[in-house]
Amino acid sequence: MTQSNLVRHDATGKKVEVSLKRMKITVPRFDNSGLIEEYSKTLIGRCMNSPMQDMKMLLYMLPRIWKVEERVAGADLGLGRFQFDFESEENIKEVMKMEPFHFDYWMLSIVRWTPIVDPSYPSAIMFWV
């Protein structure tokens, strides 16, 4: 029996092999430059100790700490990750000058959004020495 075969039981309880066929799926190419442009004013963040950091309070308090509460929208992305969508590039630059970031006595990794697929993204914390 190969990996492409399955074993099932029929109504009488006898084993019956079922064969699966492999199909090739082609995904059409599309221009995602518009999507990338939409996220150009987005910061992505990750809690370094998410069980100890309250995400709802983080999304509520960080814009107030940054003094941009009327010019930013935050969202919980799950798994200790979050994003903030800004109205202007100037606001992002002012916020990023406040690095390193922390909340509830724990560090946060906050970076500009880039189209990266990595389970540990973002994980960098910038320190000035």
Over residues 21-42, the pLDDT tens digits come to 777 888 888 888 888 888 889 9
- Unique residue bearing structure tokens 């064969």: 19
Return mean pLDDT, the chain. Answer: 85
Q: State how far the Cα of 85 lies from the Cα of 66, in Å rounded to an integer.
A: 13
Q: Is the pLDDT of residue 8 over 90?
A: no
Please tell me the pTM assigned to this model: 0.69
Q: State how far the Cα of 3 lies from the Cα of 7, in Å rounded to an integer.
A: 10
Higher-pLDDT residue of 52, 118: 52
Q: State how far the Cα of 30 lies from the Cα of 109, in Å rounded to an integer.
A: 31
Q: Where are the domains of the chain?
A: 33-112
Please tell me the CATH code under which domain 33-112 is placed: 3.30.70.330
